[in-house]
Structure 1
Amino acid sequence: MLSAIFLLLACQLVGEALHRITGLALPGSVIGMVLLLGWLALVRRERPTLGAVSGWLTAHLSIMFVPAAVGLMQEGPALARYGLGLALATGVSTVLTIVVTALVFRWALRRFTPDEVGKRPVQLAEPGA
């Protein structure tokens, strides 16, 4: 169990270090996830233990939001000044994301679905006609 927690933290740390050293445009956490994916592809024995640890972390995910909420409360003056704009920007960007996702999905269905799917069955000529 401790080895799985150490693996998660080590991948996070190495990802953050690579981000800061190289200046990559990817966040350190994303680099860490890619490193973890590579590790899991190479070392299959880690999967069950890591599954148990990640299951526990997911079950207690609400605890992970407490530090973010406390940090948000410390930004009271900024929220009072820009809160309405932030809420509006969040709402508009969410609606736009949903609309664009739906349009791309419809386009992909039309583009990549075989022609035979969704069409009426071909009517065969009646015998003797």
Structure 2
Amino acid sequence: MLRAIFLLLVCQLAGEAIHRATGLALPGSVIGMVLLVCWLALVPRERPGLAAVAGWLTAHLSVMFVPAAVGLIDEGAALSAYGIGLVIATVVSTVLTLVVTAVVFRWALARFVAEDGV
């Protein structure tokens, strides 16, 4: 379990280092995720340990939101200035995501069910 946690942290750190060194437009965490996927493709024996750690982390996901909530409280001035715009952008992007997901799901369902003849 410690090895899997170490692997996650190393990939995160490597992604941040690559981001800062190269100035890529991708966030360091995304680069780290790509590195992790590449590592798992090359070393499949890491998957069970990483699956256990990922399950534990997602079971305690609510704890991960505490720093974000504290950060929001710290940004009171920015929220009062741009709060309405942020709320509108969040609602519009959420609705748009739901609509696009539903349309793609219906398309895929119609296409693949028709091919299977079910």
TM-score class, shorter: 0.7 to 0.9
Which residue is equivalent to 1:4? Answer: 4
Give percent identity, aligned residues only: 75
Distance (whole Å) between structure 2 residues aligned to residue 57 and residue 35 of structure 1:
19
TM-score by length of 2: 0.83
| Number of corresponding residues | 115
Q: Which amino acid aligns with 1:59?
A: A
Q: How does 1:49-68 map to 2 (within 5 A)?
A: 49-68=49-68
- Listed one character per residue, the Cα deviations across residues 30-67 of structure 1 (whole Å, up to 9, x for unaligned) are 11111111111111221111111111111001111111
Letter in 1 for 2:97: T
Matched residues in 2 for 1:55 and 1:99: separation? 29
For 1:7 and 1:106, locate their aligned partners in 2 and report how far apart those are by CA, in whole Å: 38
2:60 aligned with 1:70, yes or no?
no
Structure 2: give runs of 5+ residues left out of the alignment: none
Instruction: Give the number of the structure whose residues are more often helix, by fraction.
Output: 2
- Secondary structure of the corresponding residue to residue 25 of structure 2: coil
TM-aligned CA deviation for residue 3 of structure 1? 1.0
Give the alignment's TM-score, normalised by structure 1.
Answer: 0.76
Q: 1:5 to 1:84 in 2, by over 3 A?
A: same
Aligned AA (2:72) = L
Q: Could you say which structure has the larger radius of gyration?
A: 1
CA distance in 2, matches of 1:108, 1:52: 32
Q: How does 1:1-129 map to 2 (within 5 A)?
A: 1-103=1-103, 113=111, 117=114
Q: Take 1:76 and 1:24, find their aligned partners in 2: how far apart are those partners?
A: 31
Q: Measured at CA, do residues 88 and 35 of structure 1 come closer, stay the same or move farther in structure 2, by a change above 3 Å?
A: same
Q: Secondary structure at the match of 2:24?
A: coil
How far off is 1:109 after superposition?
Answer: 6.7
